Amino acid sequence: MASRARPLNLIAPALAALLLALVLAPLAAVGWRGAGLSLGPADWAAVRFSITQALLSAVFSTALAIPVARALARRRFPGRTLLITLMGAPFLLPAVVAVLGLLAVFGRSGLLNQALIALGLPPISIYGLHGVVLAHVFLNLPLATRMILQGWLSIPSERIRLAQSLGFGPSETFRHLEGPMLREVLPGVVLVILVICLTSFAVVLTLGGGPSATTIELAIYQAVRFEFDLSRAAGLAGVQLAVGSLAALAAWLVTSPAGFGAGLGRELNLSAPEGWRRAGDIAALSAVALFLSLPLGAVLLRGLPGLSDLPAVVLPAAGRSVLVALASSSIATTAALTLALAAARRPQMLLGAAATLPLATSGLVLGTGLFLLIQPFATPMTLALPVTILVNVALSLPYLYRILLPEARAVHSDYGRLADSLAIQGWSRLRWLILPRLARPLGFGAGIAAALSMGDLGVIALFAGERQATLPLVVSQLTGAYRMEAAASAALILVTLSFALFWACDAGGRRAAA
DSSP state of 267: P
The candidate with the shortest Cα–Cα distance to 404, out of 343, 349, 330, is 343
Residues 6+ apart with CB under 8 A from 221: 201, 205, 364, 461, 462
Phi-psi region of 475 (alpha: psi -120 to 50; beta: other; left: phi over 0): alpha
DSSP state of 38: P
Q: What CA–CA distances, in Å, run from 143 to 92, 138, 249, 472?
A: 11, 10, 20, 22
* Residue count of the chain: 514
- HEC sequence for 225-288: HCCCCHHHHHHHHHHHHHHHHHHHHHHHHHCCCCCCCCCCCCCCCCCCCCCHHHHHHHHHHHHH
**DSSP three-state, residue 120:** coil
Domains by residue range for the chain, with CATH: 1-33+310-514 (1.10.3720.10)
CA atoms within 13 A on the CB side of 89: 19
Task: Give burial (CB, 10 Å; 0-12/13-18/19+) of 41.
Answer: exposed
Per-position pLDDT tens, the chain of length 514: 444 445 556 787 888 888 888 888 887 887 777 666 667 788 888 888 988 999 999 999 999 999 988 888 777 778 777 777 677 676 677 888 888 888 888 888 888 888 888 888 888 888 888 889 999 999 889 888 877 887 777 666 666 666 666 666 666 666 767 777 777 788 878 887 888 888 888 788 778 756 677 888 888 888 877 777 777 777 787 787 788 777 767 766 665 444 444 333 344 555 566 767 778 878 888 888 888 888 888 888 888 888 887 888 888 999 999 999 999 999 999 988 888 888 877 767 777 777 777 876 777 788 878 888 888 887 777 788 888 898 889 888 888 887 787 777 777 676 666 666 666 666 667 666 677 777 888 888 888 889 888 888 777 877 777 778 888 888 888 887 778 888 888 888 998 898 889 888 888 887 876 6
CB 459 within 8 A of CB 391: yes
CB 392 within 8 A of CB 458: no
